[in-house]
A and B are shown apart, each in its own frame.
Chain A
Amino acid sequence: MKKLIELNNLTKEFNGQVVLKGIHLDIHENEFMTLLGPSGCGKTTTLRIVGGFEEASNGEVLFDGIDISSLPPYKREVNTVFQKYALFPHMNVFDNVAFGLKIKKLDKAIIEQKVLRMLNLVGLEGFEKRNISQLSGGQQQRVAIARALVNEPKVLLLDEPLGALDLKLRKAMQIELKNIQKEVGITFVYVTHDQEEALTMSDTIVVMNDGSIQQIGTPTDIYNEPENRFVAQFIGESNIVEGTFVKDFLVEFDGQQFVCVDKGFDEGQDVDIVLRPEDLDIVEVGQGKIEGTISSIIFKGVHYEIMVETDERMYKVHTTDMSEVGKKVNLDFWPEDIHVMEKMGTY
Chain B
Amino acid sequence: MKQYKKLVSPYCFWLFALTIIPMMLIAFYAFTSKGTEITTFQFTLDNFFKFMDPIFLSVLMRSLVLGVLTTAICFLIGYPIAYMIAKCKENTQTILILLITIPTWINLLMRTYAWMSILSNNGIINNLLQSIGLGRVHMMYTDFAVVIGMVYNFLPFMILPIHTSLTNMDKSLTEASMDLGASRIQTFFKVTFRLSLSGVLTGITMVFLPAISAFVIPKMLGGGQYSLIGNFIEQQFITVGNWHFGSAVSLVLAVIVIVLMALIYRVEKRTNVSNEDEEGGNKRYGKRKKIRKGSMH
A interface residues (Cβ-Cβ under 8 A, vs B): 51-53, 72-74, 78-80, 82-84, 86-92, 94-95, 98-100, 103-104, 108, 111-112, 116, 123-129, 136, 138-139, 147-148, 151, 169, 172
Contacts of A86 in B (CB 8 A): 170, 172-173, 175-176
A100→B180 contact, CB < 8 A = yes
Asked if B261 CB lies within 8 Å of chain A CBs, one says no
The residue that B276 contacts in the complex, of A80, A127, A129, A136, with Cβ under 8 A, is A129
State in angstroms the CA–CA spacing of A82 and B175 once bound together: 9
State in angstroms the CA–CA spacing of A259 and B173 once bound together: 57
Q: Give B199 Cβ to nearest chain A Cβ, in Å.
A: 14
A73→B290 contact, CB < 8 A = no
Given contacts A74-B181, A112-B282, contact A88 B275 (CB under 8 A): no
A103→B180 contact, CB < 8 A = yes
Closest to A72 in B: B178
- Tell me if B's interface is mostly helix, strand, loop or mixed: helix
A-facing mask of B176-218, CB < 8 A → 1, else 0? 1111111110100011001100000000000000000000000
Contacts of B179 in A (CB 8 A): 51-53, 73-74, 78-80, 148
Q: Give B186 Cβ to nearest chain A Cβ, in Å.
A: 6
Contacts of A111 in B (CB 8 A): 279
Closest to B283 in A: A129
Closest to A75 in B: B181
The residue that B272 contacts in the complex, of A73, A90, A103, A108, with Cβ under 8 A, is A90
B292→A108 contact, CB < 8 A = no
Q: Give A121 Cβ to nearest chain B Cβ, in Å.
A: 12
The residue that A74 contacts in the complex, of B183, B281, B283, with Cβ under 8 A, is B183
Contacts of A112 in B (CB 8 A): 279, 281-282
The residue that A73 contacts in the complex, of B173, B178, B186, B291, with Cβ under 8 A, is B178
How many chain B residues touch the partner (CB < 8 A)?
A: 35
A-facing mask of B241-276, CB < 8 A → 1, else 0? 000000000000000000000000000000010011
Asked if B53 CB lies within 8 Å of chain A CBs, one says no
Q: Give A153 Cβ to nearest chain B Cβ, in Å.
A: 9
A-B contact pairs, 15 of them (CB 8 A): A53-B175, A72-B184, A73-B179, A74-B182, A78-B179, A79-B179, A86-B170, A92-B276, A92-B282, A99-B180, A126-B285, A126-B292, A138-B296, A151-B180, A172-B296
B interface residues (Cβ-Cβ under 8 A, vs A): 170, 172-173, 175-184, 186, 190-191, 194-195, 272, 275-276, 278-279, 281-283, 285-286, 289-292, 295-297
Q: Give B10 Cβ to nearest chain A Cβ, in Å.
A: 34
State in angstroms the CA–CA spacing of A260 and B15 once bound together: 84
State in angstroms the CA–CA spacing of A85 and B109 once bound together: 50
State in angstroms the CA–CA spacing of A59 and B286 once bound together: 48
- 16 new A-B contacts at CB < 8 Å, known A100-B180, A112-B281: A52-B179, A72-B183, A74-B180, A80-B175, A84-B170, A87-B176, A90-B194, A103-B180, A103-B182, A103-B186, A108-B281, A116-B285, A126-B286, A126-B292, A128-B286, A148-B180
B276→A139 contact, CB < 8 A = no
Contacts of B177 in A (CB 8 A): 88, 99
State in angstroms the CA–CA spacing of A108 and B181 once bound together: 17
Q: Give A48 Cβ to nearest chain B Cβ, in Å.
A: 9
State in angstroms the CA–CA spacing of A150 and B120 once bound together: 63
B278→A95 contact, CB < 8 A = yes
Q: Give A98 Cβ to nearest chain B Cβ, in Å.
A: 7
State in angstroms the CA–CA spacing of A127 and B295 once bound together: 11
Closest to A78 in B: B179
State in angstroms the CA–CA spacing of A151 and B195 once bound together: 24
B195→A89 contact, CB < 8 A = yes
State in angstroms the CA–CA spacing of A151 and B176 once bound together: 13
State in angstroms the CA–CA spacing of A78 and B172 once bound together: 16
State in angstroms the CA–CA spacing of A128 and B290 once bound together: 12
Contacts of A74 in B (CB 8 A): 178-183
State in angstroms the CA–CA spacing of A57 and B177 once bound together: 24
A128→B285 contact, CB < 8 A = yes
Contacts of A84 in B (CB 8 A): 170, 172
Closest to A91 in B: B275
State in angstroms the CA–CA spacing of A84 and B173 once bound together: 10
A108→B279 contact, CB < 8 A = yes
Contacts of A95 in B (CB 8 A): 275-276, 278-279
The residue that B292 contacts in the complex, of A80, A125, A172, with Cβ under 8 A, is A125
The residue that B175 contacts in the complex, of A73, A100, A172, with Cβ under 8 A, is A73
State in angstroms the CA–CA spacing of A127 and B285 once bound together: 9
Contacts of B289 in A (CB 8 A): 125-126
State in angstroms the CA–CA spacing of A83 and B190 once bound together: 21
Contacts of A103 in B (CB 8 A): 180-182, 186
State in angstroms the CA–CA spacing of A92 and B190 once bound together: 14
B297→A104 contact, CB < 8 A = no
Q: Give B293 Cβ to nearest chain A Cβ, in Å.
A: 9
Q: Give B117 Cβ to nearest chain A Cβ, in Å.
A: 46
The residue that B286 contacts in the complex, of A72, A91, A104, A129, with Cβ under 8 A, is A129
